[in-house]
Amino acid sequence: MSTPRKPLPTPDGVTAPYWESVKAHAMQVQHCNACGQTIFYPRGLCPNCFSSDLAWQPVSGKGKLHAFTIVHRHPNPAFAADAPYVVALVELDEGVRLMSNLIGVEADPEHVKVGMPVEVVYEDVTEAVTLPKFRPA
């Protein structure tokens, strides 16, 4: 029996530019031209002022660990093979937060700390899909 595969994102009309930017290893997030808000996750309207005048802008890929948990067991074998691993809520320097994994800490996950500086790394999962992960900066 083969190990099940992890689910992958299914880009749509709103999220496709984000996934394309990640695939290009140059993450972009939305910016509202009406009120200046930086926006994540991708949306059709600004959550601050409801304007549809949104533009994609590159981000630094740098940020800090806002919150995290260490997963020691997972019922899905596709994820269980990675345990222990860190599920991270990262706050980018641009002010938005995204859920990802903190990698490069598997040998010593107990030393992961809220507020630690992190930076994006791009994991090419398939030819079509790249996922943004983070490592200590």
Cis peptide before 41 (omega within 30 of 0): yes
DSSP state of 128: S
Q: What are the residues binding Zn ion (CB under 5 A)?
A: 32, 34-35, 37, 46, 48-49, 51
Between 92 and 102, CB nearer to Zn ion: 92
CB of 28 to Zn ion, least distance (A): 17
- Give the residue with the Cβ less far from Zn ion, 28 or 37: 37
Q: Measured from the CB of residue 122, what is the shortest distance to Zn ion in angstroms?
A: 28
Q: Which is nearer to Zn ion, 24 or 34 (CB)?
A: 34
Cβ proximity to Zn ion, 16 vs 49, nearer residue:
49
CB of 43 to Zn ion, least distance (A): 10
CA-closest candidate to residue 132, choices 87, 101, 86? 101
The secondary structure element, H or E, covering residue 82 is: none
CB of 36 to Zn ion, least distance (A): 7
Q: Comparing C-alpha atoms, which of 95, 94, 96, 118 is closest to residue 105? A: 118
